[in-house]
Structure 1
Amino acid sequence: MEFVRELNDFQIYGPNHTEYISNYRYKYALPFEKVEDPRGWTVNVFQRYWHHSITISVVYFIIIKAIQKAMENRKPFVLKTPLVLWNGALAIFSICGCVRFSEDIIRALYVDGLYKSLCYSCHPNDVAAFWSLLFAISKIVELGDTLFIVLRKKPLIFLHYYHHAAVLIYTVHSGAEHTAAGRAFISMNYLAHSCMYSYYAISAAGYRMPKWVSMAVTTIQTTQMLAGVAVSCLVYKIKTEDKLPCQQSMANLYLAFIIYITFAVLFIQFFLKSYIFGSSKKQKKQ
């Protein structure tokens, strides 16, 4: 990067392209909550090798199918303690990520307004960037969720592995482009996963919660997908109608539309099947 010039409270980077980035720095940060990358190696890895997120997703799918095949004539593993620890650890991580990362988007909405909140990405070296990087790494770690399903011989629905693979690909692609709308997407995902993994951990420990709790978790996930569609629509309007600069390429925006619309449809379908039509069928059988 050959130059940095101030633009109100934001910076524009060059020389070959323009990036719209927030100047906001957290007042309180732990010593490790920063991204020290003076030579741009982290960004370079994302930009040069983001397509390998597709490779990882394909390998993930093949491995899962192979394990399912191998488990056909075997008894399911119990894995109660590992499952509690796994979901508990991801719940704690998601809660910490939600608390720390959300400061960036909440402050941006309150101080800078909707446009800059959606079209200027977080500061590349500060706390929000650190939790963005951990978020991207967590999408690889979360592929392990599926192992517990297949090893315990539980039903594996299309929504599950499609969601894991698609989120990984989109997250890495967005990281490569410093997609500004990621501030909203990451905050929503951290919040949804805080609820989801907490619910999974409690359930895995053997505590049976009322039906409304699982319905609430699915509702939060579905709302997240619909909100993702709404954010993408706003960014599309900003870029095409308002003709304002925005740190999100059209390719990444179209990918967001595809992913969030399909997610919304699949989650709505899952909700109806699990809690509406499924409940009606059970009542008729009784």
Structure 2
Amino acid sequence: MALVLRSVFNTYTFCFKEYNDPRVEHFPLLGSPWPVILLIIVYLKFVYNWGPKLMENRKPYNLKTLMNVYNALQVLLNLYIGVTGFLNSYFSEDYDWLCEPINQKTSPARRKLIMATYLYFLSKIVDLLDTVFFVLRKKNNQITFLHTYHHAAMILATYIANKFLSGSHATLLGLINSFVHVIMYFYYFLTSFRPEVKNSLWWKKYITQVQLFQFMILMAHFGIPLLLGYCNYPTSLLFIGFTQNLFMFTLFADFYIKAYLKSKKRKTEMTNGSSCLNHSLAKVVK
């Protein structure tokens, strides 16, 4: 047991004291992992315990104005992260489109990319307000396993990416995801002024398709170098990147099939059944 604990301690010391990226060490929340872990625990505790108890005998809060401001700021923040990140990575001189290994470059473009990556990490913390709003508005049916898992996992993943992998091959994940969030939060902002959009299956279906396409790109981004072996990037990280996006693709695909394909099939069957019934009734009337 002592050997196991010593091994864990040595691994922790190596990762968080020696291997970490010195370019981000001074950024808030990128030191010890414990504040981030505590944040995730508090988030889950609030969502599944403290929040429901708080709202049990209360009416849902009207947060329309607050949410309008929140959604507008999210659009601007994610747009800034995406544009700044792309300009200082794939459109800079010292970034490899096929495979950017883990490094500690300090060029002006790389420093801007690191800051954009850090802002992306902070944006994932801000994203937790999505669930807080659900709780305060008593929209508990929208708090699914997919929702909470995605939010909690993204905080942990972006912390690790900033701490150890900033500016490397994993950067594409944050850049694509930022533009997906621009679309998503613009949709939320739009529905507050045009409520009829909320009932439009086209918008919801389109956003889910964009998310599925995102996971397909990222599976290729991590999977192709993993398969061909041309990338000087840890195989374990490529594997984790591929499997995590495959997992998310599976969850979103399951939601897409149940929400749009099966519901459409049921609607068609009901329509056909109604048509047959009307035809039969017409015969009886004649």
TM-score between both structures, scaled by the size of structure 1: 0.74
Q: Kindly tell me: are residues 64 and 194 of structure 1, through their superposed partners in 2, closer, same or farther at Cα, counting changes over 3 Å?
A: same
- Distance in 1, matches of 2:19 and 2:56, equals 53
Structure whose alpha-carbon radius of gyration is higher: 2
- Distance in 2, matches of 1:84 and 1:187, equals 24
- Aligned residue pairs, count: 245
Q: Which structure's residues are more often strand, by fraction?
A: 1
Kept in 1: contact 2:25–2:163 (CA 8 A): no
- Distance in 2, matches of 1:275 and 1:107, equals 37
**Structure 1 residue 213 and structure 2 residue 195: aligned?**
no
Cα shift at 1:263: 0.8
- Distance in 2, matches of 1:254 and 1:139, equals 23
**Of 166, 170, 182, which aligns to 2:157?**
170
Which residue of 1 is the match for residue 177 of structure 2? 189
- Distance in 1, matches of 2:59 and 2:28, equals 45
Kept in 1: contact 2:75–2:181 (CA 8 A): yes
Cα shift at 1:91: 0.9
Cα shift at 1:71: 2.5
Which residue of 2 is the match for residue 151 of structure 1? 136
Q: Give the share of equivalent positions with the same residue, in percent.
A: 23
Structure 2 letter corresponding to 1:259: Q
Q: Kindly tell me: are residues 43 and 79 of structure 1, through their superposed partners in 2, closer, same or farther at Cα, counting changes over 3 Å?
A: closer
Q: Which structure's residues are more often helix, by fraction?
A: 2
RMSD: 2.9
**Structure 1 residue 257 and structure 2 residue 242: aligned?**
yes
1:198-277 to structure 2, matched below 5 A, reads: 198-209=186-197, 210-237=200-227, 241-242=229-230, 244-246=231-233, 249-277=234-262
Cα shift at 1:251: 4.4
Cα shift at 1:185: 0.8
- Structure 1: gaps spanning 5 or more residues: 1-15, 20-36
Which residue of 2 is the match for residue 115 of structure 1? 98
Structure 1 letter corresponding to 2:67: L
Kept in 2: contact 1:119–1:235 (CA 8 A): no
- Structure 2: gaps spanning 5 or more residues: 1-17, 272-286
Q: Kindly tell me: are residues 119 and 126 of structure 1, through their superposed partners in 2, closer, same or farther at Cα, counting changes over 3 Å?
A: same
- Distance in 2, matches of 1:43 and 1:245, equals 27
Q: Using the TM superposition, name which of 93-102 and 161-170 deviates more.
A: 93-102
Q: Kindly tell me: are residues 168 and 45 of structure 1, through their superposed partners in 2, closer, same or farther at Cα, counting changes over 3 Å?
A: closer
Task: List, as ranges, runs of 4+ consecutive aligned residues in structure 1 with deviation greater than 6 Å.
Answer: 16-19
Kept in 1: contact 2:85–2:116 (CA 8 A): yes
